[in-house]
C-alpha cells in the first residue's frame, strides 16, 4: 500500500511539473498577456478534448502534436471549469484503471500523459501495436509479438513431443518392445540342462578334445558363447538345414482391410523361420535387434557413432524429392570357427546391414530389381556396416 501510494505521488508530481512547464511556455509565447494559471486551464481543456477524440482507437499512444494555440481563443481564457487537479486526475485515470484490472493491459504516465505499455517488454507502445490472442486486452510491439509467437510455438512443440513420448512408452510396454540385459539367458542354467560337469558362473567357451566338445569357463570375451543361443541355432541348422531368420512384414491385404481405420492397420507382422522360433530367446533377440535398427535409421535415437546420419538426414539432402519405400536387415557376411593353441573354439564372424528399395507390385510391396547406390537407406546401411564393430562394442 505504501509503495503504491508513493508511485501515485511521484506520478502526480511529474504530471504537475510537466503541465506547469507547458503553461509557463505558453504564457511567455504570448508576451505575458495571459497568466500561467489561465494557460494551464486552457491546456487542460484542449487535452481533454483531444483524449476524448481518440478514445475509439482502442489504445492510447503518445500525442505527437500538442493542442493548437492561437490569439483568437482569448474568450476561453476565463473558462476555468477544468482545474489542474481534474486534469491530473484525467491523466492518471488510465493508469489507475489499469492497475485495478490486469487483463486490460499495462499503462503508465510518461511526460504527463497516460500511455499503454507493451505487455511483453513493458515499454511504451508507438503508433502501431499488435493485439495478442493469448493476452486478452493487451498489445505488443511488432518485435515482441514475434518473440511471443516463437515462444508459443516452442511450448506447443514441447507439449507435442511430450505427448508422443508418453504414447510411445505405453505402446512399447503393451507390445514388449525394447531389449533389456535381464533377458539374456544364463549359462549356468543352460549348462545344468545339458548335463555338463562344469557349471560356469561367468562366461563360457567350447573346448574340442579327442573329437568331442565340452563346456569350460573362460575369461576371454572373444571365446565366450551363450549356450542357449548356440543350442537353438544348432537345432535350426540340424532340423531345417538353414540359419534362423526374422522379418517384419506388412500385413496381407485381408488383414489390412479388416483393420482399416484402426491403429493396428499400420502395424507389421512378425515372421519367423522356422515358425517355432517365436517365443524363444533367439527369436526375441532377433526381433529386438531388427526393430532397434529401424528406429536408429529413422532418427528415433541419437546415432551410436559421432558423424553418422540417419536416412532421414540423407533423404533431406537428396536431390530427388520423391517418396520412397525400402527395407533393411542384418546379414552375416562371414562366419567361421578358429581353434586356439589350447583347443578352444573361437567364433569369428563379420556382420553387416543391407538395404533394398521396395516398389508396389501385384502382391503388395516387392523388392526392386535394382536399388540406386545413392538411395538414403543404402547410404545408412553402408555407414552402419562400416562402424559395425564399434557399434557392437557400445
- Contact at 8 Å (CB) between 78 and 134? no
The predicted structure's pLDDT at residue 124: 86
Measure Cα distances from 125 to 54, 168, 221, 256 in Å. Answer: 15, 46, 71, 59
Helix pair 84-100, 2-29: axis angle to 10 deg: 140
State the average pLDDT over residues 299-327: 82
Q: Which residues of 90-113 are buried (b: 16+ CB within 10 A; e: fewer)?
A: bbbebbeebeeeeebbbbbbeebb
| Residue-level length of the chain | 394
Check whether 36 has a pLDDT greater than 60: no
pLDDT level of residue 5 (50, 70, 90 thresholds): very low
pLDDT level of residue 96 (50, 70, 90 thresholds): very low
Q: Is the peptide bond before 274 cis (omega within 30 degrees of 0)?
A: yes
Q: Find all residues with CB under 8 Å of 313, minimum gap 6, and list them.
A: 299
Query: Averaging pLDDT over each range in 96-110, 148-162, 369-383, which range is the top one?
Result: 148-162
Q: How far is Cα of residue 152 from the mean position of the Cα atoms in its chain?
A: 13
Query: Averaging pLDDT over each range in 2-6, 26-30, 113-117, 129-133, which range is the top one?
Result: 129-133
Rounded distance between C-alpha atoms, residue 214 and residue 229, angstroms: 16
End-to-end CA distance of the chain: 64
* pTM of structure: 0.62
Check whether 232 has a pLDDT greater than 90: yes
Rounded distance between C-alpha atoms, residue 274 and residue 267, angstroms: 22
pLDDT level of residue 374 (50, 70, 90 thresholds): confident
The predicted structure's pLDDT at residue 343: 92
State the average pLDDT over residues 255-284: 78
The predicted structure's pLDDT at residue 324: 81
Percent of the chain whose predicted confidence (pLDDT) is above 90 = 32
The predicted structure's pLDDT at residue 318: 65
Amino acid at each position: 500500500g505504501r509503495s503504491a501510494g508513493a508511485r501515485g505521488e511521484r506520478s502526480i508530481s511529474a504530471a504537475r511539473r510537466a503541465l506547469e512547464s507547458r503553461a509557463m511556455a505558453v504564457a511567455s509565447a504570448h508576451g505575458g498577456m495571459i497568466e500561467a494559471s489561465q494557460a494551464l486551464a486552457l491546456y487542460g481543456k484542449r487535452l481533454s478534448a483531444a483524449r476524448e477524440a481518440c478514445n475509439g482507437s482502442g489504445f492510447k499512444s503518445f500525442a505527437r502534436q500538442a493542442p493548437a494555440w492561437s490569439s483568437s481563443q482569448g474568450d476561453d481564457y476565463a473558462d476555468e471549469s477544468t482545474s489542474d487537479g481534474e486534469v491530473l486526475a484525467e491523466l492518471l485515470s488510465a493508469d489507475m484503471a489499469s492497475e485495478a484490472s490486469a487483463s486490460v493491459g499495462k499503462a503508465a504516465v510518461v511526460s504527463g500523459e497516460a500511455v499503454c505499455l507493451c505487455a511483453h517488454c513493458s515499454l511504451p507502445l508507438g503508433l502501431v501495436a499488435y493485439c495478442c490472442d493469448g493476452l486478452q486486452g493487451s498489445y505488443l510491439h511488432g518485435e515482441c509479438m514475434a518473440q511471443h509467437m516463437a515462444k508459443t510455438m516452442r511450448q506447443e512443440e514441447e507439449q507435442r513431443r511430450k505427448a508422443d513420448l508418453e504414447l510411445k512408452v505405453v505402446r512399447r510396454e503393451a507390445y514388449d518392445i525394447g531389449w533389456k540385459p535381464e533377458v539374456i539367458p544364463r549359462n549356468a542354467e543352460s549348462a545344468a540342462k545339458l548335463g555338463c560337469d562344469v557349471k560356469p558362473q561367468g562366461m563360457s567357451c567350447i573346448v574340442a578334445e579327442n573329437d568331442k566338445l565340452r563346456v569350460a569357463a573362460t575369461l576371454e570375451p572373444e571365446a565366450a558363447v551363450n549356450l542357449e543361443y548356440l543350442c537353438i541355432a544348432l537345432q535350426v541348422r540340424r532340423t531345417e538345414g538353414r540359419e534362423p531368420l526374422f522379418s517384419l512384414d506388412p500385413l496381407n491385404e485381408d488383414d489390412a482391410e479388416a483393420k482399416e481405420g484402426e491403429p493396428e492397420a499400420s502395424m507389421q507382422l512378425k515372421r519367423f523361420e522356422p515358425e517355432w522360433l517365436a517365443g524363444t530367446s533367439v527369436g526375441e533377440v532377433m526381433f529386438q535387434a531388427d526393430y532397434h535398427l529401424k528406429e536408429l535409421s529413422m532418427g528415433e535415437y541419437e546415432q551410436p557413432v559421432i558423424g553418422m546420419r540417419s536416412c532421414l538426414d540423407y533423404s533431406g539432402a537428396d536431390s530427388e524429392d520423391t517418396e520412397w519405400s525400402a527395407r533393411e536387415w542384418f546379414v552375416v557376411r562371414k562366419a567361421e570357427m578358429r581353434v586356439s593353441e589350447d583347443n578352444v573354439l573361437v567364433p569369428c564372424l563379420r556382420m553387416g546391414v543391407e538395404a533394398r528399395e521396395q516398389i508396389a507390385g501385384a502382391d503388395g510391396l516387392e523388392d526392386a530389381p535394382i536399388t540406386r547406390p545413392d538411395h538414403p537407406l543404402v547410404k545408412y546401411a553402408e555407414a552402419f556396416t562400416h562402424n559395425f564393430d564399434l557399434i557392437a562394442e557400445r
